[in-house]
Structure 1
């Protein structure tokens, strides 16, 4: 039934989703060029609200749970599992007051209306997975930015999306660099659940009637601790929530 409904509803969803990307690409340019970075940030927040809740066209049920409320007076590193492209609109909207910046693959920095423009102009670290030196340099720059302004950064330590919901191990590298540049940052795990199910049949049709959620978990202090221990604790916290 979910697949049958998907055939009916997916074209409408893609039409609406694509329209928001196109409209807000223009809105972002005007906001940034005319009104500045704060207006641009607000336009991105509103865009991601519409991108996220456009999923309701598919009958998707969306939930967010804060089992921990992160402080906003220090740098935050949100470490999340990664299941779908729909992970990101939820993070941007639900965590908008923390000014989240992303570690993203460089390919997303061009060619996608709204998304590429935002990544290029929001301070994101656009990394080349085939060039470790470039990737580490970009992550270090982002770490400095986060430390200077008490922003937050979002990183997916698995490195790539899980297409079947089975988590991969969290890698140490990116988190290690961020903590070196922002040593007082708090690590906050985020568990993303069932987003992969939207793509269970591929890009077409999308699955209808799924229930997805974002859960913000208890923060992990990093100072004076071994990086491997910190990353493992974050990974285990996410695994436990998903289970």
Structure 2
């Protein structure tokens, strides 16, 4: 209980501080510093027991990250553990409307996708391609939203596959087990001290797929991540 109290006493000032710095400085170096350190502080304050295996990844490589999505707690976890890759979230537009935090996301050039406007969505996809060309790693949640029942992964959406194939960079599947137990969808109280596992799978060479193969790519990626996720949950 004491750790939980400390977490919430510190969460809002820490989040506000790093968000305001990102908004005020408006450059990518400052934004990345804020994201990394905000993630580090939130993870530390949570007291969660975290095991991360990213040994399959090359710190010098630009990837398209494909990550399962369980909880709002995924965000600080990813900011901290994936910070060597200067990644950019590819996320729904509504997240960018959150006061302060959303402004910080915009300042850091994370990529919003307007799912209601096809023409605007195509321009947003091009932003992801441009980010990858500049050495940033777009990060996609292929399930499209937080999974309310993390016993298994939800069906992947084809939109994320289109972005990944257009970027033409190695695709790095990353799986997380435990964030849903730490902070379930629809809940506001973090269960401090939870056990969380993060594991990067072997990257996929996208050259074997074209945009016309996006459904096959989606099915192959889903099968690969489903199998690894089930193994992680049973270990």
Q: Under a length normalisation based on structure 2, what TM-score does the superposition of the two structures give? A: 0.85
Matched positions, count: 226
Q: Which SS does the other structure have where 1:192 is aligned?
A: strand
1:48 aligns with 2:47: no
Q: Which SS does the other structure have where 1:26 is aligned?
A: helix
Question: Judging changes above 3 Å, is the alpha-carbon distance between structure 1 residues 14 and 67 closer, same or farther for their aligned structure 2 residues?
Answer: same
Question: Judging changes above 3 Å, is the alpha-carbon distance between structure 1 residues 11 and 201 closer, same or farther for their aligned structure 2 residues?
Answer: farther
TM-fit CA distance, 1:202: 5.0
Equivalent residues of 1:139, 1:174 under 8 A apart:
no
Aligned Cα RMSD in Å? 2.2
Pick aligned residue for 1:61 from 34, 37, 49:
49
Question: Judging changes above 3 Å, is the alpha-carbon distance between structure 1 residues 219 and 52 closer, same or farther for their aligned structure 2 residues?
Answer: same
Equivalent residues of 2:31, 2:107 under 8 A apart:
no
Question: Judging changes above 3 Å, is the alpha-carbon distance between structure 1 residues 200 and 89 closer, same or farther for their aligned structure 2 residues?
Answer: closer
Pick aligned residue for 1:93 from 62, 80, 103:
80
Pick aligned residue for 2:220 from 229, 233, 236:
233
Give the corresponding residue for 2:97: 110
Equivalent residues of 1:76, 1:188 under 8 A apart:
yes
Equivalent positions of 1:56-205 (< 5 A) are 56=47, 60-70=48-58, 72-73=60-61, 75-113=62-100, 115-147=101-133, 149-165=134-150, 166-180=152-166, 182-183=167-168, 185-200=169-184, 203-205=187-189
Question: Judging changes above 3 Å, is the alpha-carbon distance between structure 1 residues 174 and 137 closer, same or farther for their aligned structure 2 residues?
Answer: farther
For structure 1, which runs of at least 5 residues remain unmatched after alignment?
A: none
Equivalent residues of 1:186, 1:222 under 8 A apart:
yes
Question: Judging changes above 3 Å, is the alpha-carbon distance between structure 1 residues 13 and 132 closer, same or farther for their aligned structure 2 residues?
Answer: farther
Q: Which SS does the other structure have where 1:150 is aligned?
A: coil
For structure 2, which runs of at least 5 residues remain unmatched after alignment?
A: 231-235
Measure, in 1, the Cα distance between the counterparts of 2:9 and 2:117.
36
TM-fit CA distance, 1:200: 4.3
TM-fit CA distance, 1:161: 0.5
Q: Under a length normalisation based on structure 1, what TM-score does the superposition of the two structures give? A: 0.83
The C-alpha deviation readout for 1:104-136, integer Å capped at 9, x for no partner, is 1212213333x3133102222212333333233
Q: Which SS does the other structure have where 2:46 is aligned?
A: helix
Give the corresponding residue for 1:215: 199
